[in-house]
Amino acid sequence: MQKPTHWIEHQNQHSTHKLAVLHQGGQTPGLFWLGGFMSNMCGGKAIAMAALAQELGLASTRFDYAAHGQSSGDFRDQTISSWLADAVAVYQRFADGPQILVGSSMGAWIALLLNQYLLEHGHPPAKALVLIAPGVDFTKRLLPQRFAPEDFAKLDRDGELRRESRYGDGPYIYTKKLVEDGNANSLLDAPLKTGAPVHIIHGGEDPDVPLSHAQEIYRHFLHDDARFTLVPDGDHRLSRPEDLALLQSIIRSFASE
């Protein structure tokens, strides 16, 4: 695992912690990585993005949300809003000039929320958004398909649910706080308007985010140049060599525009 180049002491809505950041300087547009739930900034897709940035001489920024990877913090304290606050803090510190936001799974949701934050605060939108296996609104749209009524009863009673990961990276913890906050940050109750081109990449064999969900997200982009690439035999992680080559090709096309 790569050691952070920078640490940010940050206080979000729920905790004070140190955020681990990997930043390499370069030209614009910069590439800005937003990882998934329980993932970290040293996964295959994040490394592929950083490698492409280095090849093209572009700046790149990766970081771990609070309680992810090398960042400190208690996972049970965190929510979508607090991880968005982490993303905003890193963006404000390291994103100099136009940025291509690259979000994977939950990170696609955070990427859209970050872009929304920029627009609401008078900043230019992202140059482009690349959304990989997008888990947008997963607390509201996906968890009800995954959890039985008795699971939600347990969540309400105990304040959390634990589920073993199919990827062998430890149990996933879903807190009542996370679900309620996620539902309050829902984006799919109205059309999406980013002010930037968007490209969704999704695997046809994704067991975690159904293809129908990614297609629904795509249909919400009524005002932007949105594209959708289906990888028919791709899984949720989309980290095979051919998947990473596809990701780099899409980022490269945006960077050259």
Share of the chain above pLDDT 90, in %: 92
Task: Write the CATH number of the domain with boundaries 6-138+192-252.
Answer: 3.40.50.1820
The 10s digit of each residue's pLDDT in 97-131 is 999 999 999 999 999 999 999 999 999 999 999 99
The 10s digit of each residue's pLDDT in 160-171 is 998 877 765 668
Q: What per-residue confidence (pLDDT) applies to 168?
A: 59
Contact 172, 36 (CB under 8 A): no
Number of neighbours of residue 203 by Cβ within 10 angstroms: 23
Contact 65, 83 (CB under 8 A): yes
Share of the chain above pLDDT 70, in %: 98
The 10s digit of each residue's pLDDT in 179-189 is 999 999 999 99
Compute the distance between CA of residue 67 and CA of residue 189 in angstroms, rounded to an integer.
29
Sign of CA dihedral 24, 136, 86, 120: positive
Q: What per-residue confidence (pLDDT) applies to 169?
A: 66
Q: State both tokens at 72.
A: 């400190």
Contact 111, 131 (CB under 8 A): yes
Domain boundaries, the chain: 6-138+192-252
Contact 142, 174 (CB under 8 A): no
Over residues 12-20, the mean pLDDT reads 86
Reported confidence tier of residue 86, pLDDT bands at 50, 70, 90: very high
Number of neighbours of residue 207 by Cβ within 10 angstroms: 9
Q: What per-residue confidence (pLDDT) applies to 102?
A: 99
Least confident of 3-12, 64-73, 162-171, 226-235: 162-171
Reported confidence tier of residue 94, pLDDT bands at 50, 70, 90: very high
Q: What per-residue confidence (pLDDT) applies to 27?
A: 98
